[in-house]
Amino acid sequence: MLHDRSGHLLQSLLENPAFRCWAEGRCAEDGAMWEKWAAAHEDGQAILRQAVEIVRAVPVRDEHLTDEYIQRKVSDALQAAKRQEQMENSRKKESFFPVFLSGWNVAASLLIVVGLGFALFRIYHNAHPTPKAAEANLPANALKEVANTERPFKYVQLPDGSSVVLHRNSTLKYPRAFTGKKREVYLTGEAFFEVTKDPDRPFLVYAEELIAKVHGTSFSIKAVADEKEITVAVKTGKVSVFSERASPTLLLTCNQQATFERTGAKFVRSALKSPVLLNIPIENQEFTYSETPAATVFDALAKAYGVNIVFDAPSLAHCSITATLGDEPLENKLKWICTILEAKYTITEDSITITGTPCN
């Protein structure tokens, strides 16, 4: 029977960028992780299979639909599927839908018929947060500037969901919305990046004379204005680095580093035992957990990203997490954790609040 918990899990999957990336075939290497997810939940295989069918069934993009509209339509469709099943069960008659269709097939059919073009939550993948009221009247192409002048490191969330951990005495400038074919940010100082995967829109970091181009990976950049070198160190994935003053372009992979010597305008590549460049926790943290208490996981995330995570310790005291979170940005990690815990989160500039029901 279609029930609230299953509906919640289905909706959580559809809203999860990491899941959609795998379901669409763009992150095939994550298959084992989603099989573990299915094994950890009641009816997990059926829910996972149905979510994949929904993602693949509606390829239409519609950049004008809002997040709220999509969420409301998904909720409406799931509720309609639930009512449909209850009506059919009460009548004890042969269903209008073929016998082999489960409640989840009904939900998928309704979602498709609703025809949202759904952008199928791909809109979520490309969505941009609504600017704060104080910024609403600024030009669409205005750059927002975040400077870290006091803390050892500071968390910055970009409009596409990418994470930046900004080192002390560093500044990051970025558009209030990534609207073009490229996602471009400007760094002075030192920062660690976890970039949301989007093959259609490359991510570029302009750091003094160096440019780093990525599609989705984690890496550090050190580009201090008065220093002789600019350095990039890759934790996961691939990063291309280049400069108008030097050639050729270097392609860096996991545990590789490139140093741009500003005086001679040349790149030097080197291998690393670990991708530590800025000496901040997130550079060598793995985010792999096996039946780990939720409080321990939240504390680790808070220390890695330099944010304050508030949660109801008594309610989550008996909750544990088994997951490999990888190099996904912080918000993706939160979505995954909250899916496991059936919890919710809210993000403000410097704080994250987790709310949920007690674990059995």
Structure confidence by residue, pLDDT tens digits, 172-208? 999 988 988 899 999 999 999 999 999 889 999 999 8
Residues 138 and 250 in one domain: yes
Identify the three-state secondary structure at position 328: coil
End residue of a domain, out of 220, 247, 281: 281
Residues 149 and 239 in one domain: yes
At residue 17 the predicted structure's pLDDT band, cuts being 50, 70 and 90, is low
Closest to 328 in 3D by CA, of 25, 29, 10: 29
- Structural domain for 116, as ranges: 4-126
CA contacts within 13 A on the Cβ side of 21:
19
Domain count, the chain: 3
Residues 119 and 166 in one domain: no
Q: What is the pLDDT of residue 264?
A: 87
Residues 258 and 306 in one domain: no
- Summarised one tens digit per residue, pLDDT across range 65-123 is 444 544 555 555 555 555 655 665 565 444 444 444 444 444 444 444 334 334 443 43
- Summarised one tens digit per residue, pLDDT across range 301-351 is 999 999 999 988 888 878 889 888 888 899 999 998 988 888 899 988 778
CATH label of the domain that carries residue 185: 2.60.120.1440
Q: Is 93 exposed, middle or buried (0-12, 13-18, 19+ CB in 10 A)?
A: exposed
Residues 277 and 195 in one domain: yes
Give the integer Cα–Cα distance in Å for 228 and 36: 47
Residues 139 and 273 in one domain: yes
Residues 187 and 327 in one domain: no
Q: Is the pLDDT of residue 44 over 90?
A: no
Residues 73 and 156 in one domain: no
- Summarised one tens digit per residue, pLDDT across range 227-280 is 999 999 999 999 999 988 877 789 999 999 999 998 888 899 999 888 888 888
At residue 170 the predicted structure's pLDDT band, cuts being 50, 70 and 90, is very high
Q: What is the pLDDT of residue 360?
A: 67
Residues 80 and 137 in one domain: no
End residue of a domain, out of 228, 263, 281: 281
Greater model confidence, 138 or 43: 43
Q: Is the pLDDT of residue 60 over 80?
A: no
Q: Give the Å distances, CA to CA, from 30 to 34, 83, 168.
A: 7, 34, 34
Q: Please spell the DSSP secondary structure of 110-173, one letter per residue.
A: HHHHHT--GGGGHHHHH--PPPPGGGTTS-TTPEEEEEESSSSEEEEE-TTS-EEEEETTEEEE
Q: What are phi and psi of 44, to 5 degrees?
A: -60, -40
Residues 229 and 90 in one domain: no
* Pair type for strands 320-324 and 288-293: antiparallel
Q: What is the pLDDT of residue 226?
A: 86
Residues 261 and 347 in one domain: no
Residues 45 and 119 in one domain: yes
End residue of a domain, out of 82, 102, 126: 126
